[in-house]
Amino acid sequence: MFDIDVNGTVYTVEEDLDLLDWLRQKLRLTSVKNGCGEGVCGACTVLVDGWVRRACQLSTAKVAGRKLVTVEGLPERQKEIFARAFAKAGAVQCGFCTPGMVICAKALLDWNPDPTAQEIREAIRHNICRCTGYVKIEQAIALAARVLRGEDGLVDFTKTRAITL
Ligand code: FES
Ligand code: FES
């Protein structure tokens, strides 16, 4: 039996379960997507103690005692800024990859609030998007970074359309 903190709530788990299934089916954290189940696409990316990890490659036993964060657990302001920035930049088409991209972006910006374009590119380099060609996602992350730093009013909350990640 072991404890896992997910988005600030501690859960006691008795079995060693597939982490992705447990997050999606038991906790209903459906932002965590199953794109490949093989550690290739990045759609299942979560933070484990602040590090980017692939939930499909982990089990509940492997994250015993750890703190996990999914998009659902981001602070409301960050959620809003990422959602608006991705919408504004046109970085969401089907949206399947978006939560994984946002988790990678959060990990980057927590460590480096003012990243270069190259650093943004590297932060999402292992995540696959079939729709956007990546440039708009990189622009969205740069925009979110500027807004989080308080340097940019480009995200006009009255004019951009809210999206749900
Ligand atoms: S579902 Fe985990 S990397 Fe694709
Ligand atoms: S927006 Fe469709 S996979 Fe990225």
State the average pLDDT over residues 36-59: 98
Instruction: List the domain boundaries for the chain.
Output: 2-73, 76-148
pLDDT score of 156: 52
Q: Domain 76-148 - what CATH class?
A: mainly alpha
Q: In which band, very low, low, confident or very high, does the pLDDT at 141 lie, cut at 50, 70 and 90?
A: very high
DSSP string across 23-72: IIIIS--TTS--S-SSSSS-TTEEEETTEEEEGGG-BTGGGTT-EEE-GG
Whether 164 shows a pLDDT value over 50: the answer reads: no
The CATH code of domain 2-73 reads 3.10.20.30
Residue 34 CB–ligand 1 contact under 6 Å: yes
**Ligand 2 centroid to residue 93 C-alpha, Å:** 5
Same fold? 2-73, 76-148: no
Q: What is the pTM of this model?
A: 0.92
